[in-house]
Amino acid sequence: MPITPTEKIWMNGELIPWEDAKVHVLTHTLHYGTGVFEGVRAYETARGPAVFRLTDHIERLFASAKIFMIDIPFTVQEIVEATKETVKVNGLPSCYIRPIVYLGYGEMGLNPMPCVVNVSIAVWPWGAYLGDEGMQHGVRMKISSWRRHDPNIIPPAAKGTGQYINSQLAKVEAIKAGYDEAIMLNPQGFVAEASGENIFIARDGDLITPPLSAGALVGITRDSVIRIARDLGVNVHEADLMRTDLYTADEVFVCGTAAEITPVREIDDRVVGEPGPLTKKIQEVFHAAVRGEVERYADWLEYVS
Ligand SMILES: Cc1ncc(COP(=O)(O)O)c(C=O)c1O
């Protein structure tokens, strides 16, 4: 889906016109992929736009930066406030938000430490990442021939810009083969996650998701799903899953900021089916929570004004 330009982008402390938010071709991150970023969403609520779990996202941004030894020249609170300001100034009722920390122009070579650290925050309208049809009836997924990287090769705990070339290899392979999305196994052969989402299966009324040690990102939507499910009285376990556990599951869904809660209807041509009752219930509660309609989850919303 093409990006719809909005008015202003926050760059290093200033709101500047969208078309002026440019970087030099010798920007370090462009060459070597050392940068960290977040994907966040603001939702329309009765009290105006609210950013879903904003502080949690910005704390993860700082954790990712710590892993790569990048010193962000702002505090968590400053980036939280800058994000709210960027959403507010662009006047959108709901939007996707992309904060990124990248190494700028001035140094080249593999030592990133002398590089200048830049931060920018852009916002734009973005609908269902895996499509409206997928959201309603489920997507078709393929187990990728590309493995998720091992934690001692590239840390899956960090949301680093360069590490997404691994996800992109898997995504392209899946799309070229006629599927919507890729599921990645870790080097041990257990399910890690999808190219840009965490994954859950339902079996005999319980929910199971791979542990973070399987190579999954510490997903904020994953955490929200676990809390919603437990509040609904559902048992949630973290356990290693084999690809065949996906084929024989009662229900499968993936979750993430971009994809929200997207049901999976087929994996490697094995039919899982239309979204099941647990998937639908969690989708329903999640969509109500992000719109400020569930008092119990009110603390997940950070209003922009
Ligand atoms: C690889 C990967 N896994 C999982 C997720 C889901 O994380 P979150 O729910 O925090 O957006 C994302 C999206 O950020 C992702 O890129």
Cα-Cα-Cα-Cα torsion 211, 274, 169, 242, nearest 10 degrees, comes to 40
Nearest CA to ligand 1 atom 4: 197
Q: What atom of ligand 1 comes closest to residue 198's alpha carbon?
A: 4
The predicted pLDDT at position 163 comes to 95
Hey, which of 168, 197, 220, 225 would you mutate to test ligand 1's pocket, going by the most ligand atoms within 8 Å of its Cβ? 197
180 neighbors 194 (Cβ within 8 angstroms) = no
Q: Is the CB of 35 under 6 A from ligand 1?
A: no
The predicted pLDDT at position 127 comes to 86
Q: What is the per-residue DSSP string for the chain?
A: -PPPP-SEEEETTEEEEGGG----TT-HHHHH--EEE--EEEE--TTS-EEETHHHHHHHHHHHHHHTT---SS-HHHHHHHHHHHHHHHT-SSEEEEEEEEE-TT--SS--TTSPEEEEEEEE----TT-HHHHHH-EEEEE-SSPPPPTTTS-TTS-BTTTHHHHHHHHHHHHHTT-SEEEEE-TTSSEEEESSSEEEEEETTEEEE--GGGT----HHHHHHHHHHHHTT--EEE----HHHHHT-SEEEEEETTTEEEEEEEETTEE--S--HHHHHHHHHHHHHHTT--GGGGGGEEE--
The predicted pLDDT at position 128 comes to 85
Per-residue pLDDT of the chain (305 residues; tens, 9 = 90+): 889 999 999 999 999 999 999 999 999 999 999 999 999 999 999 999 999 999 999 999 999 999 999 999 999 999 999 999 999 999 999 999 999 999 999 999 999 999 999 999 999 999 888 888 999 999 999 999 999 999 999 999 999 999 999 999 999 999 999 999 999 999 999 999 999 999 999 999 999 999 999 999 999 999 999 999 999 999 999 999 999 999 999 999 999 999 999 999 999 999 999 999 999 999 999 999 999 999 999 999 999 99
Q: Is the dihedral of CA 271, 275, 277, 279 positive or negative?
A: positive
The predicted pLDDT at position 136 comes to 92
The predicted pLDDT at position 197 comes to 98
Nearest CA to ligand 1 atom 6: 256
pLDDT tens, 240-259? Answer: 999 999 999 999 999 999 99
Backbone phi and psi for residue 284, each to the nearest 5 degrees, phi listed first: -65, -45
Place of tokens 């502080």: 55
Distance 196 CA to ligand 1 centre (A): 5
The predicted pLDDT at position 1 comes to 82
Enter the tokens of residue 219. 């997903």
The predicted pLDDT at position 54 comes to 98
Neighbours of 291 (CB within 10 A): 16
